[in-house]
Structure 1
């Protein structure tokens, strides 16, 4: 067959779709909506790499706290930047204090002028919070007058809370990172960190798992209205067209719906793109400008969707005999064969098995094998489900009238029933596999912090020692605070410069030191020693009474001359650390305040540990207000027993965001598919009602028609998902374990979406179950 014949037949199908009257338009619109939802999500997915890149570039462009040991000299082109980060409930607030030191001081991105002392510029979302009735506590913490708004270039998300405040008393301290001097904003350090192969593999799997259900839905959407279309095509056989020509015309009709679906999907994407700036999902927000799909990927979607529409229609028409006197579809068909349906999952396993045991220590995973293997396993769900539904419904027995109606319908059109739930089954299989993978490797990206949240709820790091007396006085009196302990720490070297042995040094009053060690008795002026079993003879000799040491002994040329001499006192007493010490691995010298030379305070780090009364609402916010009042450059940290890798957390958040979008697509597409099925059966439903069938019986039959395939689909999805999850865990060299509660929750989520769609389809079903539906023209 030549290209001209193909073009002519496809063009005729396009014309039939457009000029085929109300029926043709309804079918094409339904197809366009189904395809459009899938196209919109595909475009969104193609834009995700640009979203991540744009956020990373924004973050790098405004980087200021570099923690560099080298401080540039003061000049006309320098600015002092102080850290003012805080939290408002569960949201981070990024804050910086700015003090320009010259006329050419660099401005941070998104800011057109430096705020004066007592002024600040804020993000749009922070402005809303500060002006709201519920933002009173945050307003107490940020009392500066708002004089401007941070532009989009200075924010990573539309809902980010951020501010820049003016200052005139900042000072760089050598032993503190709270204030830095910059000549330019932005991170110019080369990134040399080796990429984690496990995270890269997980990223690939996430994309495949999220996109495969979309492709399945698009393939199902182009077959909407197939039965009515085939009956219309029978008329073409009367005027002389052969079977091949009829199939190409049918493909042309599907092509029209797919092309219109591309346009509808583009509109959906543009609407969603614009709405992205006003929503926040799982604490993440974006700007519409981030959602710019790669042109190459857009072209790929534009070509693949129409091509898939033509291919799927031609494949589906193989089992339909369109004859001049009707459509031979309801006759008993040959049973579906199983052997070729097993080939995709078996091939997928064959591609993944060679990488079992790689972990992160045997090089990178082959990305083509990973993508191909996961894709084939998920496609295997789509291939096996029609066979499973057909085999299962053929053996279903008798029951109530509603059950018999549903079973007979499923036996006559098991393929249609399987197509409806194919996408949900693929999505659930992928979700179960990813849940197993993320749960299995979570321990590799989670570290113990050594912190005991039962001992302290919040840690406040002060920027300088001058704020310590006020902090020790104010925190115990703060609302919601049960106890507060102020501790300073540093080191003692055996030489003024380049010490050979150093010992930890902790300063606090007797109550504070008792939080660290068992003290027999204590009064101001006492000094204690917690021996370190790892110390050698030289280190132990340096701590003998009468030996001179140096506080803040240095290895750096730039800060020499600031060492403070201190002699180990004769009354030094040995004590043991508490098992539940406020700090982990406590050892070295414990000093009460009067035992420390006054000039040594600036050389120490100062912290306040606070235990909250969690029964007091907003207790942590009151603590943050006190911290900002006693030292506006202080850092406040909530204690947690564990901490997770930021990259792992970001990937998991991205998975959740994608899952929300896929679930929305699943629900919308299933609803469109269900309405299309009901529309095709309108006359049949009206006939049954006219003959006295109760509406309750018909409603239950529709429910059974949905429940049986989705049950079979979820069982198959669980089996494939568990298999894929086990293989992925083996690939990461992780012990295989199954959390059955999570597996059931994944299956329950899929079943819940189907149930919601079924309930939403009941109102149109009731409208169709009227005898008036038999009326025709």
Structure 2
């Protein structure tokens, strides 16, 4: 008996598949529209399935090219050259807010390791660059950067040495790096990459929650659009099925044939989606979204996930079709759908969002202190809440339009159409409503937990924007003076810091020393009068006893040594002058917390420069275009090993920033899908009404009236959908914030902007559908076969 049922199902599904491809032009058009809509969703699902492999490939290449902090020789500053040693200097820089990875290479032996992606070492004065950097250097936008990298390009860095296709990287030939070996900026290595397994960094439970919610929110609109696409041409299909009833098929067989048609369209959609994905993968290699770029070869879906997509999409198409036909009576003489449709019931539709809230309720108040969130409950709860929109919206549209009254002709046409087919109108809006609700919830969650992963740097960007760390063998006075004259620099402060000890051997007491000219010291402390040779004492308000060493006539020591230290230290004694004066730290000090001795260069003993760490702080001139890059160029011209950092008032955790960037990239892809799918849905609905539109025009209805009616048919459901999306999105956002133990707050400007973006997409799609609408109003649309 069971085999007979399976055989019957197989024959009916096969007949539906044959009808799809042998049903003439009408069948082909519907199949192609369905395949196109499903294909867009499949392409995005395959892209999502490729994310794990993409991240793994990027991380592997990042680890393979590591040369800072891992792979170093022991005792780097005291290591000796070998046949396998390589001197490498870090010359990272930034250009117009784009990070550029740079290295100077000087091989010391025939077997020195080559960086990944580099075929041979560049000679001094030469460099090999990544394709993206090469393109930037050749463009007009790279004029200032060409001045900063005065090397001849002799090669290209291959994919093995790059994180993504847009990676900006160069390797240049170095000379004399051994004299500047410090184990930090300049190091001696014998390998690239990590030599030991690094412990996995523990991820904050809130960050894991963010990741789970991001994936659920981004993929839900895709599922909704796929479900909508398999129902394209539903009214015409049902009329064709009525003909099958006329020749003897029963109602169950008719539904199975309809499922076969949907199965054929979804399988064709899998082919379309694979093609879209392959095209998109190649395009992805030439674009950069929010600073993220990939190589096409990185976008390889996991076989297991790809198989899941290939099985889930056709299965979902069959189930959606059978579910959609549950309320349609297909008789031999026609389709009974709209004679007296039963009112939609609300109670069971409320069960979906309530069920989602019930799944999320046990995790309220958990925060980061009570372990990880249950990702299965989180995913299920979020999906049920968002899926509840697709169940509630048809009821909301039906209940609203049933109460609408009379108005202009265009309004009456639109209202009557919505009253007859509120389900079709709601299906068109479902995807955008789900996307907006998810975006609102995510915005609330990100805004709520942002403070947890954001810390103040304590830097005042109104005082300085660039911090330039100078090499130890450089003259801070000379370099500071050159940078002061650099184009783009408004003011500079050259400061050096070190420490002095109370004893020459085995010291236990230390005192901070800051050296700079009078103008630079005034950036730190309130100094009444100053000239070269003066010394000032600034007490630490937290620990005033720290400055007990600062007694006139006392001898302190630079570079003290410890017992058994080899080689012995080269202590430099300094007798503190009698004329030291007290000063107080500025409330807006350039370096908050700087205390101890403030010294002008003339007061120091000779040969102490090697004991200082020197930094120049620059405030750029706002009147100079690209002032920051002009200063960077001046610094590199002085010494390529000068390191530069731009000040920021706050700093975010890297993992949080990566998740937010991933969300923006994914949201961009989903937004493109939303626009394309909506356009296909709108065109499909207009195609189904082509004869009706032509008949109305033939009877004298103005085209302008019909155009306005289409606009009203779109505006009413989208308004209801956005109101519902606001309610669900705010509810989900509040629950997620409660789960993370964060105070619930709503940034209404951001929330309304999310709704505005959704409405804007619909308005754009409606505008694009106007030209096809005008063509469908021609009298030729009344022709039939």
Give the TM-score range, shorter chain: over 0.9
Rounded to whole Å, the distance in 2 between the matches of 1:395 and 1:574 is 82
Question: Which residue in the other structure is 1:52 paired with?
Answer: 55
2:8 to 5, 25, 41: 5
Question: Which residue in the other structure is 2:104 paired with?
Answer: 97
Question: How far did residue 536 of structure 1 move?
Answer: 6.8
Secondary structure, aligned partner of 2:335: strand
The change in CA–CA distance for 1:736 and 1:584 in structure 2 (over 3 A counts) is same
Question: Which residue in the other structure is 2:321 paired with?
Answer: 313
Q: CA RMSD in A?
A: 1.7
Question: Which residue in the other structure is 1:712 paired with?
Answer: 720
Question: Which residue in the other structure is 1:226 paired with?
Answer: 234
Question: Which residue in the other structure is 1:600 paired with?
Answer: 608
1:295-324: per-residue Cα shift (whole Å, max 9, x none)? 100000000000000000000011111100
Rounded to whole Å, the distance in 2 between the matches of 1:294 and 1:322 is 42
Q: Does 1:341 align with 2:352?
A: no
Secondary structure, aligned partner of 2:494: strand
Secondary structure, aligned partner of 1:278: coil
Structure 1 unaligned segments of length 5 or more: list them. none
2:425 to 402, 417, 422: 417
Question: Which residue in the other structure is 1:510 paired with?
Answer: 518
Q: Does 1:130 align with 2:108?
A: no
Rounded to whole Å, the distance in 1 between the matches of 2:65 and 2:189 is 12
Question: Which residue in the other structure is 2:301 paired with?
Answer: 293
Rounded to whole Å, the distance in 2 between the matches of 1:751 and 1:509 is 60
Question: Which residue in the other structure is 2:734 paired with?
Answer: 726
Rounded to whole Å, the distance in 1 between the matches of 2:200 and 2:9 is 54
Question: Which residue in the other structure is 2:382 paired with?
Answer: 374
Rounded to whole Å, the distance in 2 between the matches of 1:70 and 1:194 is 30
Q: How many residues align?
A: 776
Secondary structure, aligned partner of 1:111: coil
Question: How far did residue 596 of structure 1 move?
Answer: 2.1
Rounded to whole Å, the distance in 1 between the matches of 2:182 and 2:504 is 17
Question: Which residue in the other structure is 2:678 paired with?
Answer: 670
1:63 to 48, 66, 73: 66
Question: Which residue in the other structure is 1:213 paired with?
Answer: 221
Question: Which residue in the other structure is 1:249 paired with?
Answer: 257
Question: Which residue in the other structure is 1:622 paired with?
Answer: 630
Secondary structure, aligned partner of 1:574: strand
1:531-551: per-residue Cα shift (whole Å, max 9, x none)? 1234375x4443323333332
Secondary structure, aligned partner of 1:96: strand
Rounded to whole Å, the distance in 2 between the matches of 1:749 and 1:554 is 66
The change in CA–CA distance for 1:564 and 1:294 in structure 2 (over 3 A counts) is farther
Question: Which residue in the other structure is 2:172 paired with?
Answer: 165
1:641-677: per-residue Cα shift (whole Å, max 9, x none)? 1111111111111101111110100110011011110
- TM-score (ref. length: structure 1): 0.97
1:428-471: per-residue Cα shift (whole Å, max 9, x none)? 00000000011111111111111111111211111224242332
Secondary structure, aligned partner of 2:671: helix
2:269 to 261, 275, 293: 261
Deviates more, 1:611-620 or 1:414-423: 611-620
Secondary structure, aligned partner of 2:102: strand
Question: How far did residue 620 of structure 1 move?
Answer: 1.2
Q: Does 1:149 align with 2:156?
A: yes
The change in CA–CA distance for 1:466 and 1:575 in structure 2 (over 3 A counts) is same
Secondary structure, aligned partner of 2:573: strand
Question: How far did residue 379 of structure 1 move?
Answer: 0.7
1:373-423: per-residue Cα shift (whole Å, max 9, x none)? 111111111111111111111111111111111111111111110000100
Secondary structure, aligned partner of 2:177: coil
1:720-768: per-residue Cα shift (whole Å, max 9, x none)? 0001111111111111110101111000000011101100000000001
1:480 to 488, 499, 503: 488
Deviates more, 1:312-321 or 1:603-612: 603-612
Rounded to whole Å, the distance in 2 between the matches of 1:70 and 1:535 is 35
Rounded to whole Å, the distance in 1 between the matches of 2:682 and 2:389 is 21
Question: Which residue in the other structure is 1:34 paired with?
Answer: 37
1:328-386: per-residue Cα shift (whole Å, max 9, x none)? 11212111111111111111111111111111121111111111111111111111111
Question: How far did residue 509 of structure 1 move?
Answer: 0.9
The change in CA–CA distance for 1:721 and 1:617 in structure 2 (over 3 A counts) is same
Rounded to whole Å, the distance in 2 between the matches of 1:584 and 1:360 is 32
Question: How far did residue 481 of structure 1 move?
Answer: 1.5
Rounded to whole Å, the distance in 2 between the matches of 1:560 and 1:253 is 87
Question: Which residue in the other structure is 2:583 paired with?
Answer: 575
Q: Are the aligned partners of 1:485 and 1:608 in contact in 2 as well (CA < 8 Å)?
A: yes
Rounded to whole Å, the distance in 2 between the matches of 1:490 and 1:713 is 64
The change in CA–CA distance for 1:759 and 1:272 in structure 2 (over 3 A counts) is same
Rounded to whole Å, the distance in 1 between the matches of 2:254 and 2:616 is 80
Q: Are the aligned partners of 1:219 and 1:312 in contact in 2 as well (CA < 8 Å)?
A: yes
Secondary structure, aligned partner of 1:504: strand
Rounded to whole Å, the distance in 1 between the matches of 2:94 and 2:277 is 33
The change in CA–CA distance for 1:563 and 1:688 in structure 2 (over 3 A counts) is farther
Rounded to whole Å, the distance in 1 between the matches of 2:441 and 2:566 is 55
Rounded to whole Å, the distance in 2 between the matches of 1:175 and 1:552 is 17
Rounded to whole Å, the distance in 2 between the matches of 1:629 and 1:560 is 37
Question: Which residue in the other structure is 2:767 paired with?
Answer: 759
Q: Are the aligned partners of 1:66 and 1:187 in contact in 2 as well (CA < 8 Å)?
A: no
2:406 to 398, 401, 407: 398
Deviates more, 1:729-738 or 1:565-574: 565-574
Rounded to whole Å, the distance in 2 between the matches of 1:6 and 1:436 is 48
Deviates more, 1:50-59 or 1:545-554: 545-554
Question: How far did residue 574 of structure 1 move?
Answer: 1.4
Secondary structure, aligned partner of 1:171: helix
Secondary structure, aligned partner of 1:353: helix
Rounded to whole Å, the distance in 1 between the matches of 2:293 and 2:419 is 47
Q: Are the aligned partners of 2:181 and 2:188 in contact in 1 as well (CA < 8 Å)?
A: no
Rounded to whole Å, the distance in 2 between the matches of 1:560 and 1:122 is 44
Matches within 5 A, 1:630-709: 630-709=638-717
Question: How far did residue 558 of structure 1 move?
Answer: 6.8
Question: Which residue in the other structure is 1:21 paired with?
Answer: 24
Deviates more, 1:199-208 or 1:463-472: 463-472
Rounded to whole Å, the distance in 1 between the matches of 2:721 and 2:240 is 32
Q: Are the aligned partners of 2:547 and 2:596 in contact in 1 as well (CA < 8 Å)?
A: no
Rounded to whole Å, the distance in 1 between the matches of 2:488 and 2:544 is 45
Rounded to whole Å, the distance in 1 between the matches of 2:729 and 2:269 is 31
Question: How far did residue 497 of structure 1 move?
Answer: 5.3
1:135-164: per-residue Cα shift (whole Å, max 9, x none)? 222111111111110001111111121100
Rounded to whole Å, the distance in 2 between the matches of 1:678 and 1:221 is 15
Question: How far did residue 185 of structure 1 move?
Answer: 1.1
Rounded to whole Å, the distance in 1 between the matches of 2:298 and 2:216 is 22
Question: How far did residue 80 of structure 1 move?
Answer: 1.3
Rounded to whole Å, the distance in 2 between the matches of 1:19 and 1:552 is 90
Question: How far did residue 175 of structure 1 move?
Answer: 6.3
Q: Are the aligned partners of 1:172 and 1:179 in contact in 2 as well (CA < 8 Å)?
A: no
